[in-house]
Homo-oligomer: A and B are copies of this chain.
């Protein structure tokens, strides 16, 4: 003990990890190109914060692993060359092949969200996005809106499963009120500020919907800015519903009506899920928590007809 003190001996963590095979590191894998899109989104910030907090609580730290490319091979390449007990994967798209590569290599992993509809890929904690789309749509229909647009993220011309689910819920609501669904109700928009702004500009050049559902926080801010810049009043001229952390939407003016779910709960569950996989325990699949509609000041009854 004297010697430790006087020599300033510090045990080598590297050797400890080497010997024990445990690093108490959770890798968060994200593609380099994706990181900018994600870093400025309120939902990701909340998820990231919650992930970090939960990991800390469980004695883990988060290693941010950046992959140059977003495809399965690059992801796998980067993952297998990393020291971590398990991986949380933020995928820019569907990444079909990745799961089998990881399974084969027996690397524990989870996804930050639903990327696939295959039941065997159930290594994520979902919110009930069908329900989310449904309650948003239903609320607008209740307010007498029928000319609704749902703005979703454009990923290589398509959209991610969680948006597919929200759309499904939206259609369900339309069905319930016997309002026919039209393809142009779904508007694919890039998630960054300028691209979103331009997308909304394009939309309002030719059309004049009375209500918007917006699946991305940055796009939501872009929309509000567009309305401010062009003299549209929210909610008098357009009603707007956002999807994401309720906290964030309270910092906007007007305070936004939004569909929100408990991201800090979901993030904690996701870490639990990963830790279970790391320890080789049987995995308990969580029922998705129902999202909630928080009604604030950006939605109003449609008086147009």
Contacts and interface: CB of A to CB of B under 8 A. Distances in A.
Given A14-B17, A253-B225, A61 B49 contact: no
Interface in A42-64: 42, 45, 48-49, 52-53, 55-56, 61-64
Interface residues of A, number: 45
**Most interface-central of A65, A68, A104, A251 (chain B CB within 10 A):** A251
Interface in A114-135: none
A305 to B, nearest CB: 30
Interface in A12-28: 13-15, 17-18, 21, 23, 25
A62 B63 contact: yes
A228 interface: yes
Contact of A105 (B8, B42, B251): B8
A81 B49 contact: no
A98 to B, nearest CB: 15
9 smallest CB-CB distances across A and B, nearest first, come from: A18-B18, A56-B66, A62-B64, A63-B63, A228-B253, A39-B49, A10-B80, A13-B83, A14-B18
30 contacts: A8-B104, A10-B105, A13-B82, A13-B83, A14-B14, A14-B18, A14-B21, A17-B17, A17-B18, A17-B83, A25-B83, A32-B53, A32-B56, A39-B48, A40-B42, A45-B45, A52-B64, A52-B66, A53-B66, A55-B66, A56-B68, A61-B63, A61-B64, A61-B65, A61-B66, A63-B63, A63-B64, A193-B251, A222-B251, A229-B253
